[in-house]
Amino acid sequence: MTNPEFGDVRSLEGVAPTKHPCLPIIAVSTTSGTAAEVTINYVITDVEKNRKFVCVDPHD
């Protein structure tokens, strides 16, 4: 899968400054798992380098 807006998925690694601060969100997950549906964070698995890294959505 490719995206022409950036050249390398590894460029997404790290935390960007928050542009739109908001009130905290309190969410209760009703299923077991990663809770990816309630966070702006995500994990990318880099099989080429045998590692995982965490990213935070810079657009909140």
Instruction: Say which residue, 26 or 12, is predicted with more confidence.
Output: 26
Q: Where are the domains of the chain?
A: 33-60
| Separation CA 40–CA 14 (nearest Å) | 12
Tens-digit pLDDT profile for residues 33-59 = 666 666 777 788 888 889 988 888 766
Q: Can you give the pTM of this predicted structure?
A: 0.39
Question: What residues are paired with 42 via a beta bridge?
Answer: 55
pLDDT tens track for 2-17: 656 666 767 777 777 7
The two three-digit tokens of residue 39, written as one number: 């966070």
Residues in the chain: 60
Predicted confidence at residue 50, as pLDDT, reads 93
